[in-house]
Amino acid sequence: MNHIVSLKWLLARLYESDLVIVDCRFQMGKGQENAGREAYEASHIPGAVYLDLEKDLSAPVDADGHGGRHPLPDAAQLTGTFSRVGIGNTSRVVAYDDQGGAMASRLWWLLKYLGHDQVFVLDQGFAAWRDAGFPVNAEQQVRIPAPFLAEVRHSMLAEVDDVRELLGTDQATLIDSREPARYRGEVEPLDKAAGHIPGAINRFWKDALDERGGWRDENAQAARFAGLAQDAPLIVYCGSGVTATPNVLALQEAGYTNVRLYAGSWSDWISYEENPIAVGDEENPKDE
């Protein structure tokens, strides 16, 4: 796998000088905002730094709701954050969480978006590392800031206007990464309206993982998206732009080359009253 590293791979390189390990644990939900940091402070992979989904990897929510529940940070601000924790242009970065790779994939995508390719997600996450008997501690090392020069890859991002223009056309396929009941509009625990963007197909992001919580290989990922040509334009979204990123990673593992993230996702889409909403199942994707 190109973007996933194993527990043993990281163990063998744990103290290499160019490696930056980032703990991305974060619990969604009211009252859980500090749970990830508290877990990090209690125990983490040696040398790991902590980056918080909402404080470090997202911008503040806009008062009018536009941009979604986890808006993208300003590129300059994000570059400063990475530099502060020791991530430079020559760093190798390994991100982990305990949420199936969702938060780690958010960091993976953000670094890719800023032009940094040497970034990976740790297979299975922290609990598997700890349960394997690999080293953990509670020490918080002081990191020396590293120079980080961003080269923003705008082609990785889709905005609300891009999605609007594609509605009713065959110019791109929208992939909704949320659980099926949310996609169909049967339940909506987080956002003000239920349903999905018209024309979107549903590929639940957790299906990228196997029964042990590890990432499926490239062949299994490709099977999840069967029927879509590998060079087909794809736009992936979820509720707020976080759990879509594991699907972006899975698509890249499977060889798809034209994948964009709608970062604002469903929470941004429904912030515009004029945007249409669909419920129920959509047709299967076209055959190649």
Res 284: pLDDT:
52
On whether residue 176 sits in a domain, the answer given is: yes
pLDDT digits (tens, 9 = 90+) for 40-53: 999 999 999 999 99
Let me know whether 93 and 192 are in one domain: no
24 is catalytic: no
Spatial separation of the C-alpha atoms in residues 26 and 53, rounded to whole Å? 7
Let me know whether 231 and 114 are in one domain: no
The reported pTM is: 0.95
The CATH number that applies at residue 225 is 3.40.250.10
> In the chain, how many domains are there?
2
Compute the mean pLDDT over every residue in the chain, rounded to the nearest whole number.
Answer: 95
Range of the domain at 83: 4-131
Pairing between β-strand 19-23 and β-strand 92-96 as defined by DSSP bridges: parallel
Let me know whether 107 and 177 are in one domain: no
Please, which residues have CB within 8 angstroms of residue 12's CB and are 6 or more apart in sequence?
Answer: none
Q: Which of 100, 131, 162 is the last residue of a domain?
A: 131
Percent of the chain topping pLDDT 90: 92
Find how far residue 51's CA is from the centre of its chain: 14
pLDDT digits (tens, 9 = 90+) for 78-96: 999 999 999 999 999 999 9
pLDDT digits (tens, 9 = 90+) for 211-231: 999 999 999 999 999 999 999
Let me know whether 85 and 172 are in one domain: no
**Residue written as token pair 């990785």:** 156
Mean pLDDT of the region 236-263: 98
**Residue written as token pair 């190649």:** 288
Q: Please state the φ and ψ torsions of residue 282, each to the nearest 5 degrees.
A: -100, 170
DSSP per-residue string spanning 54-103: TTTSSPPPPTT-TT-SSPPPPHHHHHHHHHHTT--TT-EEEEE-SSTTHH
Res 286: pLDDT:
45
Let me know whether 9 and 125 are in one domain: yes
Let me know whether 120 and 186 are in one domain: no
Q: How far is CA 252 from CA 38, 108, 267, in A?
A: 32, 12, 25
pLDDT at 283 over 80: no
CB 136 within 8 A of CB 10: no
pLDDT tier at 288, thresholds 50, 70, 90 = very low
Res 28: pLDDT:
82
Taking each helix axis from N to C terminus, what angle separates 245-253 and 102-113, rounded to the nearest 10 degrees? 70
Q: Which of 66, 100, 131 is the last residue of a domain?
A: 131
On whether residue 185 sits in a domain, the answer given is: yes
Opening angle at CA 107, ends 105 and 110, nearest 5:
110
Q: Which of 5, 45, 222, 238 is catalytic?
A: 238
On whether residue 114 sits in a domain, the answer given is: yes
On whether residue 285 sits in a domain, the answer given is: no
pLDDT digits (tens, 9 = 90+) for 95-110: 999 999 999 999 999 9
